[in-house]
Amino acid sequence: MNDKSLTLQQAVEQIKEEFTVTSEKLSQLTNHFTELMSIGLSKDPSENTKGLPMIPTYVTKIPTGSEYGVYLAADLGGTNFRVCSVRLNGDSTFKLDQTKSRIPEDLLEAGTSEELFGYLAKKIDTFVKNGNHHADQIDEDKSHKLKMGFTFSYPVSQTALGAGTLLRWTKGFKIADTVGKDVVQLLQEQLDKIQSPVHVVALANDTVGTLLSHAYSTGATPNGKQGDAVIGAIFGTGTNGCYLEPIENITKLGQEYIQQLKSKGVTHMVINTEWGSFDNELKYLPTTEYDVNIDKASTNPGYHMFEKRVSGLFLGEILRQILVKLNAQGVLFPQWRSFDRLPEKLRTPFNLDSEVLSHIEIDDSSNLRETELTFNQKLRLPTTEEERLAIQQIVRAISRRSAYLAAVPLAAILMRTKALEGYHKEVEIGVDGSVVEYYPGFRSMIRHALALTPLGPDGERKIHVLIAKDGSGVGAALCASTVV
């Protein structure tokens, strides 16, 4: 629509309104999340395809900080692949050596799983053999395999600690032939093919790694008491969280298995919620035309609808879509009269990343000079001061909606687990990911929103949202350490 009667500021006010998440909305979403958690715990992914996956991870113990030993860890979570050697010192500290490589673009959409997992296996093997890592362990006994934990940060339906089939790809990967296959097996096959001395013994989601490494780093006390970490969460390229659920509530595990675990003294299991898929049916999530466009253009339309409103991969694209729309309305960049004439960089989907937004968010230079520079450099786009002021308001509306929505699963899990009940009870949430770590004010916006959820300001005061570094590496090593 080319609405010439609209001024830029009026258009911005409309957008701000669309992106506002009220306290009523937060309560509604929190209650809905709670309902979907119960359904997810009782139904298998095959009967709950659009629901909240609530995946049992087979991790039944939280580290105390006294875990000890040297383990390998591999981490595939986004555009990078890391291989790490982790030395757990048994006193909450660790030493980590790693190599990092960027996944070649063509492998994101590789024709076969073999190409991707073959690439990963070679990287692991090179690290082990060339980096002098674990050389002593290999040389001592040629048949001895090194235990490795594999952090694989995509929705996987786990069937054991060391096995799980991919439900679907997220975050830009698109290799159809991997869906439905066991990713541990795929990696092990490629490692065996090149006779690598590595045995993949544990599979972990990055949120599980974050929870475990946070507990390891903060939990050790002289008597080995457990820390107070109750949720592990990621707000980065993607978003997700995990927490501990009493075993008897995970009814989809089947009564027989639950009794078996209980007889071994198991009381809880970590659940990977895959909250990126919260409200895929869009019953209550706020939805703008930009969200609709992004979903249509995504690799997984109809899924991960929450993630598409919250995580770093999408924030820049939401802004780009809005700028294009304002141009079409004739209120922004009027020197370009049609979409085809806009600078190519602004026409290209996913060309703006959340880092750009983070600069604009806190730009307090006079006349928003920093924003002017950012637009010149990243998009070759000259801007007027009025335009920059408008863009900053839009950026703040997008990030606030993201952070407010981010509070929903946190509040719902704390309510379900009654984690805040008890005299002077305080809890820790271990978080990792580029958005929560580097986006200015993101954590304090989450806190504002937590106070507006049913937890209220009293609940919010008892919550500590703490950055947990290196969860994917240390967490995978901790998982591997539990396998004897």
Task: Give the position of tokens 């995509």.
Answer: 154
Q: Report d(CA 93, CA 160) in Å as an integer.
A: 28
Q: Are 392 and 368 in contact (CB under 8 A)?
A: yes
Nearest approach, Cβ of 14 to ligand BGC (angstroms)?
30
SS3 at position 149: strand
Nearest approach, Cβ of 432 to ligand BGC (angstroms)?
9
SS3 at position 427: strand
Q: Report d(CA 359, CA 370) in Å as an integer.
A: 8
Give 227 or 276: the residue with its C-beta nearer to ligand BGC.
276
Angle between helices 385-416 and 312-328 (to 10 degrees): 140
Q: Positive or negative, the Cα torsion across 310, 315, 320, 323?
A: positive
Give 157 or 205: the residue with its C-beta nearer to ligand BGC.
205
Q: How many CB atoms lie within 10 A of CB 338?
A: 8
Residue among 320, 277, 309, 312 at smallest CA distance from 436: 312
Q: Report d(CA 54, CA 241) in Å as an integer.
A: 10
Residue among 418, 443, 421, 447 at smallest CA distance from 432: 443
Give me the residues paired with residue 151 across strands. Answer: 75, 204
Give 240 or 321: the residue with its C-beta nearer to ligand BGC.
240
Nearest approach, Cβ of 244 to ligand BGC (angstroms)?
17
Give 125 or 206: the residue with its C-beta nearer to ligand BGC.
206
Give 170 or 280: the residue with its C-beta nearer to ligand BGC.
170
Q: Which helix (H) or strand (E) holds 151?
A: strand 146-152
Catalytic residue positions? 153, 168, 206
Q: State phi, psi for 275 to the nearest 5 degrees.
A: -70, -10
Q: Report d(CA 426, CA 218) in Å as an integer.
A: 14
Give 65 or 238: the residue with its C-beta nearer to ligand BGC.
238
Nearest approach, Cβ of 53 to ligand BGC (angstroms)?
9
Give the per-residue SS3 of 243-286. Answer: EEEEHHHCHHHCHHHHHHHHHCCCCEEEEECCHHHCCCCCCCCC
- Per DSSP, 182 falls in state B
Nearest approach, Cβ of 238 to ligand BGC (angstroms)?
2
Nearest approach, Cβ of 69 to ligand BGC (angstroms)?
25
Question: How far from 256 is each of 197, 248, 259, 270, 289, CA to CA, in Å?
Answer: 36, 11, 5, 19, 47
- By the criterion CB under 6 A, which residues form the site for ligand BGC? 77, 153-155, 170-171, 205-207, 234, 236, 238-240, 274, 276, 307
Q: Report d(CA 400, CA 449) in Å as an integer.
A: 9
Nearest approach, Cβ of 150 to ligand BGC (angstroms)?
13
Nearest approach, Cβ of 281 to ligand BGC (angstroms)?
18
Give 295 or 307: the residue with its C-beta nearer to ligand BGC.
307
Nearest approach, Cβ of 240 to ligand BGC (angstroms)?
3
Q: Report d(CA 438, CA 441) in Å as an integer.
A: 9
Q: Report d(CA 60, CA 263) in Å as an integer.
A: 13
Task: Give the position of tokens 């490589």.
Answer: 101
Give 280 or 392: the residue with its C-beta nearer to ligand BGC.
280
Give the per-residue SS3 of 57-121. Answer: CCCCCCCCCCCEEEEEEEEECCCEEEEEEEEEECCCCEEEEEEEEECCHHHHCCCCHHHHHHHHH
Give 239 or 399: the residue with its C-beta nearer to ligand BGC.
239
